[in-house]
């Protein structure tokens, strides 16, 4: 069995004295690479029981994203403000209240945590087939499933992955060891878009 996955590109920042300090310009967009992993899959009663990583090869190298950052200092000109100071503390109170409400709104938009939360490296895979827990991805292409290390996240757990959403920890992989989560997409192009990134994974139940 072969499985394709993406290789994330790096971002390289270069200083440029011709640009104003604080300005940035992208001179080369990054491009993710691709690697192919070959597995030895053991089936039992038509279901995958075990898989072993045999080889892994980078078939397309990633291209760095290059960003130039300005370092040119601008002359500082002193200015006198004619704006009157606030006449009362009421505006400040309103502002603080608004800030608190905004923070409360941001917190309430996060998924409720029913268990542990981890910061993990995330990759993506596709190709259908049957997962280690017997989920038929070919028959359920829209199902959100992630491959995990069962010693970190128990198989069958319902999890929330930032940027991906709620999913079932229903698969494993030879390269999935420790704090790594492999998210499934039915469309291979979405794997390239996802790349390799850092995510927050919360065990819901």
Q: Is 35 helix (H, G, I), strand (E, B) or coil?
A: strand
Predicted confidence at residue 43, as pLDDT, reads: 80
Give the Cα separation of 191 and 178 in Å (integer): 21
Residues 114, 205: contact at Cβ < 8 Å?
yes
Q: Does residue 182 surpass a pLDDT of 60?
A: yes
Q: b/e string for 181-202 if b means 16 or more Cβ within 10 A?
A: bbbbbeeeeebbebbbbebebb
Predicted confidence at residue 75, as pLDDT, reads: 61
Q: Is 72 helix (H, G, I), strand (E, B) or coil?
A: strand
Give the Cα separation of 166 and 204 in Å (integer): 9
Alpha helices in the chain (DSSP H): 90-108, 188-194
What domains appear along the chain, each with residue ranges and CATH number?
2-70+113-203 (2.20.230.10)
Residues 188, 126: contact at Cβ < 8 Å?
yes
Q: What percent of the chain has pLDDT over 90?
A: 35
Q: What percent of the chain has pLDDT over 70?
A: 80
Residues 182, 173: contact at Cβ < 8 Å?
yes
pTM: 0.46
**CA triplet 175, 177, 180: central angle to 5 degrees?**
90
Greater confidence (170 vs 115) lies with 170
Give the Cα separation of 65 and 187 in Å (integer): 25
Q: What is the pLDDT of residues 58-113, one digit of tens each?
A: 878 888 888 778 777 766 544 444 444 444 444 333 334 334 343 333 333 344 44
Q: Does residue 1 surpass a pLDDT of 50?
A: yes
């Amino acid at each position: 069995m072969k499985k394709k996955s993406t290789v994330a590109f790096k971002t390289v920042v270069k200083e440029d004295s011709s640009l104003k300090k604080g300005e940035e310009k992208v001179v080369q967009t990054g491009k993710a690479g691709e690697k192919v992993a070959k597995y030895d899959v053991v089936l039992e009663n038509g279901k995958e029981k075990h898989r072993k990583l045999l080889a892994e090869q980078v078939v397309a190298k990633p291209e760095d994203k290059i960003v130039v950052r300005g370092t040119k200092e601008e002359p500082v000109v002193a200015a006198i403000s004619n704006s009157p100071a606030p006449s009362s503390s009421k505006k400040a109170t309103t502002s603080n209240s608004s800030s608190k409400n905004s923070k409360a709104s941001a917190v309430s938009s996060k998924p409720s945590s029913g268990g542990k939360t981890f910061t993990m490296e995330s990759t993506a895979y596709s190709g259908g087939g049957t997962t280690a827990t017997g989920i038929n991805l070919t028959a359920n292409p829209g199902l959100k499933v992630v491959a995990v290390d069962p010693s970190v996240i128990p198989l069958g757990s319902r999890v929330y992955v930032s940027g991906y959403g709620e999913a079932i920890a229903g698969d494993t992989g030879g390269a999935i060891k420790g704090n790594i989560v492999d998210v499934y997409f039915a469309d291979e192009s979405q794997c390239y878009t996802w790349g390799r990134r850092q995510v927050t994974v919360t065990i819901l139940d």
